[in-house]
Each structure stands twice: as C-alpha cells, then as structure tokens.
Amino acid sequence: MSNQNQAQNQSQAAAPFDGGGGAAPETGQTGAAVQKIEQTGAAAHVEEAESRRLVDQRKADKVLLVETLADFSSDERLVTADELLVAFMERAALAPPVTVAHVRQELESMPDPRFEGPDSQTVAADMARIKAMEKAQPGSAPDPEVPGLRKTRRLLSRRQLLSSLLHPAEALAESGADPAQATESAPAAEPAEAATAPRVVEREYAAALLTELLAEDEDVAAFTAWDKKEYYHYKPQMSSLYAGILSTANNRMVQVASVVRDSSRDYPRPVALEIFEYPPFLFEAEALQQCLRDMAESEEYADIRFTESSVGTVYLYSTRYLDEDYAAFLAENEDVGAIASP
C-alpha cells in the first residue's frame, strides 16, 4: 500500500473523533438518560408500593371508634358503652382497609378550618378555654355552642385523628425528607389487597380500644349519671355540662336541680327561671310550675330556693353554695346591672 493510501485511511479512521465524517455517539449523555429512566421507574415502584401500604389497624380502629362517638355527640345524643361498641363493630366490619395514600389524600383535600370563616380565629382559644375549665373543675365549662364552631371543631379533630395514623416515617416523607430513609424506618405492612376478606370484630377487642382511648384521649369522656348509667360523649362536639343536662332529660326535677346547683357552685350565679323554657330543656310553662311544686315538697331538693330581681325576674339558686343575700345581689346585678351598665 502506498504512503498516500495509508495517510488517507488514517485520516478516515480519525475523522469521527476530529469532527469529520459521521458523529460519534455521546456515551456520557446516553448513560445519564438511562440512569434517569431507571430512577423514574424506581420512584414509580416506590410510589405504587406506598399507595398500597396499610396503616396500623389498631390505630385505624381507634380513629373509627372516636368518629363513631363524635357522630353521636354531633347529633346531641349521649351513648352507653353497649350502644357505642355495637355501632363501632358494625362500621368496622364494613370498613375497607385504610392505606397511607388514602390518609394523605384526605388530609390534602380537607379544608383547613383555621383559615376559613369569621370564627377561625377564636377556635383555638375557645378549645383551650374549655379544656382548661374542664381540667380545673369537671363539668364547669359552658357548652361551646357558638354558631358555626361545631363544624369547625369537627374538622380540626378529624385532621388530628388522620394525622395520628401516619407513622413518623410517612410524616418525614410527606415533609420532603429522603424517601429511602422514610421507607427504611416505616413498619412493614401487608398490601391492601391482602385485607379484603370479611372482617369479624370481637366485642372484647372493641372494649379494649375504648378503655385505651379513655386513658389516651382527653376528648373522649365518660361519666355516671343520676340513674347510675355510664354515658360517653366527645368533648369537641358536646361539653361535659351539656352532656349532664342531656343525661337528666328523663327526670325533670333532677335536671333543674343539677343545673341550678352547678351554676351556683361553679360560676357562681343564680339561674333565671325562664331559661328552662328554651333548648335544650323546652319545658312547657305549666309543666315547669308543676316540677317546681313537686321539688318544693321533696326534702331532696330543699336547697333549691327562689329570689326575685327588682324588675320581677325570678331566679333559682342552691343554698349549698350561695346564701340568700349573695344570691339576691347576683340576680340583681345580672338582671338590672347589665342594663344599667351595658
């Protein structure tokens, strides 16, 4: 081969690297693209696995039990343990498995009540005040039925309950932490499809959940009424004082005496007789007068007395906690003083 042909062949062989001839494949960019595709596929796989991860069943059942109780309280109904457990077991048997993805989706779609409506700024202070009063003196907090706040309190409690279902690892992943680290920290869980079989919820299991909730959640409350029955209510939806009023609905004398004694002890102040004609009491005028006559004839209610303001408003008070002169002063101040000094 001549020197000229050898030079030509060498020039053609070097051309791809010198810019001559066909372009050489960019191996660095190709490798990066392949790596990106692999990472995307791995991320999709992790996301799919995450969407099938179940939350802890016991935690999910506790949330469902609280929601069942909250439904009764929202409807202004007290509930016994038997009634509550039966309602819970029926709902739990039909409830589908709860996945982490489902919890996240509901939290993301749920409106934040703290930033909605004119009442949003008072919700936190309202709840803090009620809890402080309840802690200092059970039953002393007034019923927090400020218009528009019941729905807000329900949303707040629902958000807190759902957040409690997320493992700290899921919370890290949700806030933008390393997903790999979150996956390693999260507890192992079965795929959602594995829990589709019909479920039987035992009463002993449900009763154990209720016992745990009473110890763990201060919003789940129980008390023994005048008839020795134990009732349950959910404080964000029904205060202890309001629950006590409802528990005496089947005994009018006990109901009137309980309200008067509680008011004389806790505030202290007498109670205007006319309030018993309004919700939640709804006494008819004649029925109220008959109730008072019956109470006057019973030694059990001898501490319930009357006083009258200068404008003729009748008040009731209990001598267990207020003497006659102080009760008269408080009645006059509440009835006339508020008008004279608005």
**Residue 199 burial (10 A CB sphere; 0-12, 13-18, 19+):** middle
Tokens of 163: 């957040």
Residue 333 carries which side chain, given as an amino acid letter? Answer: N
Residue 16 reports pLDDT greater than 50:
no
Q: How many other CB atoms sit within 10 Å of the CB of residue 23? A: 7
Predicted local confidence at residue 138, as pLDDT? 46
Residue 123 reports pLDDT greater than 70:
no
- Exposure on the CB side of residue 338, measured as CA atoms within 13 A: 7
Q: Which residue in this structure is represented by tokens 């709840």?
A: 127
**52-86: pLDDT as tens digits:** 688 889 999 999 999 999 999 988 899 999 999 99
**28-43: pLDDT as tens digits:** 566 666 566 655 655 5
**Residue 316 burial (10 A CB sphere; 0-12, 13-18, 19+):** buried
More confident residue, 149 or 321: 321
319 phi, psi to nearest 5 deg: -70, -10
**196-225: pLDDT as tens digits:** 566 889 999 999 999 999 999 999 999 999
Q: By the 8 A CB rule, do 232 and 79 touch?
A: yes
CA dist list (Å): 229 to 79, 82, 89, 234, 248:
10, 11, 21, 17, 11
**What CATH number does the domain located at 249-340 have?**
1.10.10
For the chain, the domains span: 57-240, 249-340
Q: Are strands 304-308 and 271-272 parallel, antiparallel or unpaired?
A: unpaired
Torsion sign across C-alpha atoms 207, 209, 215, 217: negative
Residue 236 reports pLDDT greater than 70:
yes
